[in-house]
Structure 1
Amino acid sequence: MNKTLEEHIIQENLTPEQLAKISKHYKSKNVSELPEWFKKKTVPREHAGILLYTIIWQEMENGETLGEVWNDTVEPSKLDYHIKGLKAQTNYSICVEVMYYSFTTLRSEYLEIETNRNFSLIPPGDHKDNCHCDKMGTVNDDPDHPGCRTHFFGSMSLKLCQCQEGYSGMYCHICRPGYYRLGPNMPCNKCPCDIKKSNGYCHFREGYLFCDTCNEGYGGNLCQTCAKGYYRPGGSAYCTRCNCHGNTDFCQDITGECIGCRHNTAGFNCNRCAHGYVNIRKTGHLTSCVHADTAQQMQEKNKPSVGSGAIAGICVTVIVVIGLIIGVVIYKRYWRYPTARPFWTVELKDDHEGICFSSVPEDELVAITAREEEEERKRGKSGSQPYTKLRENI
């Protein structure tokens, strides 16, 4: 936004919320420099919206204003405003000023009014005119004081306004939440906002009636239309979400037929692949529809030559076979070459100063050899390693 335009806006002494509101408006309209219609009485229609109201009031005496001038800003969505802090039984001069998005301002004529008595709990018979009720908003069942009802507080009593349905306030002069009026001195009417479609409250904005908040699935100023992604089945008063499997955001507003299916899908609910396309995902939404030729290429490319399970089986088999071969070799070697028997000994002499060598006696060596040969023959095994005599000429 141009600095000159920023300076003009800052000079208006707006609140941060109002500054953000006007900045958002100018940004949405692509206004970056000070326009020719700024603060002019004739402006483009798109900039004729109301930015805020300003209520101005000042105390009066004998037809002359005196004292401090008071003011307060009001959002354009508010239809009623209550000035606080006024003195009882005092004359005031009040006017309303409106500011548009173009910063053009218009001011109403000044209205001179007198406030009511500032009454509280009053003894019976002290005042007979202590109830000033709005005739349109009160229940008129007291002939002496229309709209008033006496309320007792111990020995004290007070006449208070009894409001009709749809009215509230001390004098039953404003509409209750959920009601609206077309203008001053007009009756309060119930908001035409279905609680199944909205929060049930409404307000005026720039001459049009709006429901405060629409529920999910509804739109329009009175939440009377279906929002994007919803439709109203024939004969139904309420909206239903479109069943398009996430492949489009729009459907026909009565039948619910999906419009503009994406991701190569088709059908009433975008629930199948379009002609010439196949779904490569077996579960979930149809978001994987690809051309048939592409799907075939993908399958051939991803087809494994040997499964991972087959590779694992081959590896295990090889390990088992190698283990068996090693076991057989060790077994045969053990029986073919038994552990050799000692045929000579080495002993330490008694004086611990020498070593004595002695060989196995001849008869004992022969007996051992004969026994082992006999055992070999019984097992059907031959070629065992015989003992040899120790050479004595070492």
Structure 2
Amino acid sequence: LCNCSAVGSVSTAECNGTTGQCPCLEGYTGLRCESCAPGFYLEQSSQRCRPCGCSPAGSRSAQCDDSGKCQCKVGVTDPKCDRCSDGYYRFNETTCEPCQCNNRSTTCDSLTGTCLHCQENTEGAHCELCKEGFYRSTHACLRCPCSTVASTGTCRIQPGETAPTCDKCKTGYTGPNCNRCDNGYYNSDSICVRCKCNRNVDPALTPRVCEPDSGECIGCLYHTAGFHCEECEDGYVRDPEGTNCTRKEATLGPETKEFTTSAPNASKATSFSTAVINSTLSPTTIQTIFPLSSSDNSTSAFADVSWTQFNIIILTVIIIVVVLLMGFVGAVYMYREYQNRKLNAPFWTIELKEDNISFSSYHDSIPNADVSGLLEDDGNEVAPNGQLTLTTPMHNYKA
């Protein structure tokens, strides 16, 4: 009797007459084909020999264990040893190559070797770069000191420097770390906000435009004032259009015109009280004392003098002129009166004697001389020939 295996032999009744070797199916071996051949294993569920299927490149041998798992080389995995383990790539005829990830990842693409899941804020094919928003320090990638509100959030260390510099600040921010407000902006709750000065500050003259911490405008122009240059200076009022500050209307003359100083967008020409100035000052004097300019930021001396002071100056000049004229006229009048009195006054000579008083005068030589008022007593008389008779309670005297 052959006694061949019913599972592993071709026929249970056929065998070699000399040796007794039964003809075995693929995967079986033994005299009666009762065992699995090398490269095969016994499947427990079916009790049949199955091929191991181990990869020649990845396995140490063609044999596998009872579960069908092959013995893999270093860097190779899977039951059949046909895939690179984590941390290895490029399965080839010899072995898998280890991933080159600078110790910042344990896995890479099994075909290309590109590192996967880079750690410590790194990126790149070999985890050799810092992620966006980080910069490389000595041994690690550190976060950039750049706010995404104020900058692009990226930075780099320039050659020869130890501290990073932000790549690009957003509008309104400045500084190496974009942590300061730029000119024309101020800090409002840690956010840089544009200065609100109603276009009444010239950045060319005042680059900061406003205080960086409070937002108060610096150097208001065009006769404006206030926290935001929204008001007019003393002596100025808002024009009917509500855009410019104009000088208050003068009250000296009936035809006093308004003095205006306009911002660049104004269409009115600069003017002032021509009725008063034309009547008191020459054109040369006007140009010297009150230079007029159409420049946007006029700084003339006249503009610096308030309208009230100007009125006081004009009134003072007028009063001085009037007083001088009155003094001159009075002096002339008094001089003429003095001359007239000197010519019309009679000259008397009185001679006292024991019995009479003798008067002599030259009023007869002066035409229309009046001597009737010289002696006011009722007892005194004037004779036609010019002699005076003095009458007293005791005596009568003739002259």
Place the TM-score, normalised by the shorter chain, in its bin.
0.3 to 0.5
Taking structure 1 as the reference length, the TM-score comes to: 0.37
Higher helix share: 1
Return the TM-score normalized by structure 2: 0.36
Structure with larger Rg: 2
